[in-house]
Amino acid sequence: MARFIQTPPTATTNVFTGDANFVHDQGVASASWVVTHNLGKYCSVTVVDTANNVVIGEVEYNSVNQVTLTFRSSFAGKAYFN
């Protein structure tokens, strides 16, 4: 049986408050996005275009608070950081 060493995170509207996340909205089409998320960690990143299709690109961690996302072509969309 699993047990928590710390107090488990609480759920609020299906979002756990025990960890931070960030959503970047890239409104202008570009093949390179520089995003400052200020989460203080090397995040996992999921990128989608304006039709919510997942887009694969290169993620370069500039620091624990900033990444550069590079793609083969320009597009607008969102990047989700966890």
Q: Per the domain annotation, does 11 fall within a domain?
A: no
Domain range for 49 is 20-81
Burial string for 45-70 (b: 16+ CB within 10 Å, else e) reads bebeeeeeeebebebeeeeeeebebe
Count structural domains, the chain: 1
The pLDDT of residue 64 is above 80: yes
Q: Per the domain annotation, does 62 fall within a domain?
A: yes
Give the rounded percent of residues in the chain with a pLDDT score beyond 70. 78
Q: Per the domain annotation, does 7 fall within a domain?
A: no
Q: Per the domain annotation, does 58 fall within a domain?
A: yes
The pLDDT of residue 20 is above 60: yes
Q: State pTM to two decimals.
A: 0.76
Q: Per the domain annotation, does 6 fall within a domain?
A: no
- 12 three-state secondary structure: strand
